[in-house]
Structure 1
């Protein structure tokens, strides 16, 4: 694994799961079985914010991710954010995620605060933080989901 790609998407649909699936499709990762990990970036790995994932392997395979996800059935805004910072010396790094029924500025502020808190727990020389935010308007009568995911490498066979 040499690259972690940060992808994002949002969508509305008649059910919660359908809106989540459609948001994953907007991010390009709808055909994989997602396996969530906590938030540590391995040393010597590139992190690229790409928006939509390229082809990462055959459908149905396992894909390792850090995921920020928010779904609502209420009108208003729904937002997801992922912040990250890597060691300046090529060492490990850290992802932090947050989401909720709030606007872009609020979710970005919250994820930056979380990342800063996580950095204080570690004695690594962190570089400047980066943030990816997906925020969209949710309308009454439908479910809306926003996702931001850090996708670790390419897919692996699940069986």
Structure 2
């Protein structure tokens, strides 16, 4: 929902860290910039910050509005970079969550699309590391099944990766 709201406000997420607490709260930290991408937007003014805060609070209080994500057009410079998305699970020593790595062309609304995919497929997001590297994103999502179980079944992992890659690739092509 946060990614969708930032999308509606014309903000680009450059980096994010999402963590859940043991008492069922989420602590989310985002580095954003105005999508106009000009040097004058290095710092958002107080008015803009107030609008962002107000809009975000309203959207989070009304999650049913999630489906109304505004899609912006892909900037011309990013359109030439259209490599297919990759998605794969990686093993991790802790095995607290299943780690899903996604690499894809950077597109406005991509995080909102991935979040919607998780919601529609009953996947619980516990933590995320988001990185925008020029024309592409390299994101890692720490997820479980809705009931908190690790996603370890090979068939389930392959299905998630295949469906997600297809969804991202269709989205990337539609944004051109």
Normalising by structure 2, we get a TM-score of: 0.28
Normalising by structure 1, we get a TM-score of: 0.30
Structure number with higher relative contact order (C-alpha < 8 Å, ≥ 6 residues apart): 1
- The structure with the greater share of residues assigned to strand is 1
Report which of the two structures shows the higher radius of gyration computed on alpha carbons. Answer: 2
